[in-house]
Chain A
Amino acid sequence: MASTETKAQPATAKADDPDRAGGTTAGDASADLAGLEAGLDALESTVVARQPWLRTIVAKSFPPLIAIAIVLALWQLAYHLELKPHYLLPSPIDVARSLQQKWFEGTLLGFVWTSVSRGALGFLASVAIGTLLGLIVAQVKVVRAAVGPILSGLQSLPSVAWVPAAIIWFGLSDATIYAVVLLGAVPSIANGLVAGVDQISPLYLRAGRTIGASGLAGVRHVLLPAALPGYIAGLKQGWAFSWRSLMAAELIVNAADLGTGLGQLLEQGRELQDMSWVLSAILLILIVGIGIELLIFAPIERRVLRSRGLLVKS
């Protein structure tokens, strides 16, 4: 097996002769060494073939799909046995019909878009603020001592707690919604970056200084890329917090001129005591949250981790 690998290496082509001759002149010795090195390299390099993406997707999505099918089956069974009256526990098909009805009314995508665009905008603002804040906290000792504990404490505060305060400040407006989203997401993004910076091996910083990457160049070329895995984890969590905070805000901040998001949709369903409506709104919120995580954050995270050899292949 080793010999086939060696042949595949172009560098070994000229090494065959001196190997046999056992040359003693300087040129031969150099070629000898080159051949030896190429051989070692070939022996120690393992080529890991990447699985075709289609198979990966199928393999990854199969178990969750089974789990979902089981949950749906149990739900349907509960409906059949009428554990609760039908108006309290509609069947999965009722919920699907309710969704279908809204789809045909042409309003569904509008609701989703209202929430997603709010979430995205709030998230992007949180990224800008959280990144700056995180960098300062991570790099300035005094700030860290003062703000660090508060920042991690804020993470455990449910952002829905901010809603009444925000309503008093900003009334029933978009500003209230965004304030709640920011207060929810900024701490987790900042904390993610701080954790990312803390986890950097001091070796990289030393190596960076040795090659002359200090000051701003050091931040740009060493510190930030080294902190990227932790930062992305923070962004992921930041998105989750944004989305949660947004839903909490939309549920409570309900005004006609604000436009209907998924949270408001959910609240309307409650007002009408329409359980199918409520469940389909919950389902939509879940699907959007998971969808953005799967379609945006998971690929970025996998790419970063794989390129650094941090993704363990099973």
Chain B
Amino acid sequence: MTTTTLTKQPATADPGTTRPYAARIDHVSKSFGRPGAQQQVLDDISIDVAPGEFVCLLGASGCGKSTLLNLVAGLDAPSAGAIETPGGRPALMFQEHALFPWLTAGRNIELALRMRGVPRAERRDEAERLLELVRLKGAYGKRVHELSGGMRQRVAMARALAQDSQLLLMDEPFAALDAITRDVLHDELTRIWSAANDDASGTGNLSVLFVTHNVREAVRLAQRVVLLSSRPGRIAREWQVDIPQPRRIEDAAVADLSVEITEQLRGEIRRHGQH
């Protein structure tokens, strides 16, 4: 399955092709601050995310990866360039679960369903189905504070999936979790993403744009890893990851590629010390 998706990969350096995409980031730049005293955060970024593709954005602090994700999510507008998400508003998951503490786990999901326009009669069943998908059957009535960190992130994942978007944006969603839980959630995310793309009649295609500063995590999850340089963020290099899923973070192949990417990442960081 992984290999077939890989062959569908568009040429990312040139987003002028007619291949279908779940997200097109087209020569995007972003600056903050007043005119005259501007700080450029992103410089001419172009990435196409193919339908069903899993892309990791990797970079050190200050590379603007979260800014880029906000732009794709439509929470902010680029200073130059264009972003297209043909599948509608993307779903977004943060490092913090960002679940509403005044609602139960199930109600949090139902609110997303309601905002999407799902009729009241169907919401409960759909919320239960999504909870089951993230293996939290029976957590419907649980309050957010009653759940562990990993469970909260899974509810947040279910809420993101409730938007039924073809594009899931994830902003370091597992960075605050302990290593054991993070490892399990990697498996879980891979499983859900694979299932969504395997099953033509079900959720349909699910593309993921995943931001992280964890090289191993990127190689563990992604079909394609895009390395951003810092200040301003530019695409430094990208790698196709041909290791078949399900992978493990301990796999030798994952480790080998991680070493290579880490070397490059360190090189990018070193450049900032040589002024």
Contacts and interface: CB of A to CB of B under 8 A. Distances in A.
Interface string A26-66: 00011001101110110011000000000000000000000
B208 interface: no
A34 B135 contact: yes
Contact of A37 (B75, B101, B135, B146): B135
A270 to B, nearest CB: 48
A206 B145 contact: no
A217 B187 CA distance: 35
A22 interface: no
A2 interface: no
B193 to A, nearest CB: 14
Contacts of A34: 135
Interface stretch (B39-47, B86-94, B257-265): B86-94
B135 A204 contact: no
Majority SS at the chain A contact face = helix
B138 A40 contact: no
Interface stretch (A84-92, A114-122, A220-228, A280-288): A220-228
A225 B108 CA distance: 13
Contacts of A204: 98, 100
B138 A10 contact: yes
Interface stretch (B50-58, B148-156, B221-229, B231-239): B148-156
A309 B91 contact: no
A211 interface: yes
B184 interface: yes
B102 A228 contact: yes
Given A30-B191, A212-B116, A44 B143 contact: no
A225 B100 contact: yes
Given A34-B135, A44-B151, A204-B98, A211 B159 contact: yes
Interface residues of B, number: 40
Nearest to A222: B100
A226 B137 contact: no
A240 B145 CA distance: 31
B135 A308 contact: no
Given A203-B96, A309-B144, A226 B150 contact: no
Given A30-B191, A225-B100, A45 B146 contact: yes
B191 A207 contact: no
Interface residues of A, number: 33
B185 to A, nearest CB: 9
A28 B246 CA distance: 13
B135 A11 contact: yes
Given A10-B138, A38-B135, A203-B94, A309 B187 contact: no
Contacts of A212: 89, 112, 115-116, 163
A80 interface: no
A293 B100 CA distance: 28
A156 interface: no
Contacts of B206: none
Nearest to A30: B191
B91 A210 contact: yes
A213 interface: yes
B115 A40 contact: no
Given A211-B112, A213-B115, A228-B102, A33 B150 contact: no
B128 interface: no
Interface of B: 73, 75, 89, 91-92, 94, 96, 98-103, 111-112, 115-116, 135-138, 143-151, 159, 162-163, 180-181, 184, 187-188, 191, 246
13 contacts: A33-B135, A37-B184, A41-B151, A45-B151, A203-B94, A206-B98, A207-B99, A209-B75, A211-B112, A212-B115, A307-B101, A308-B143, A308-B144
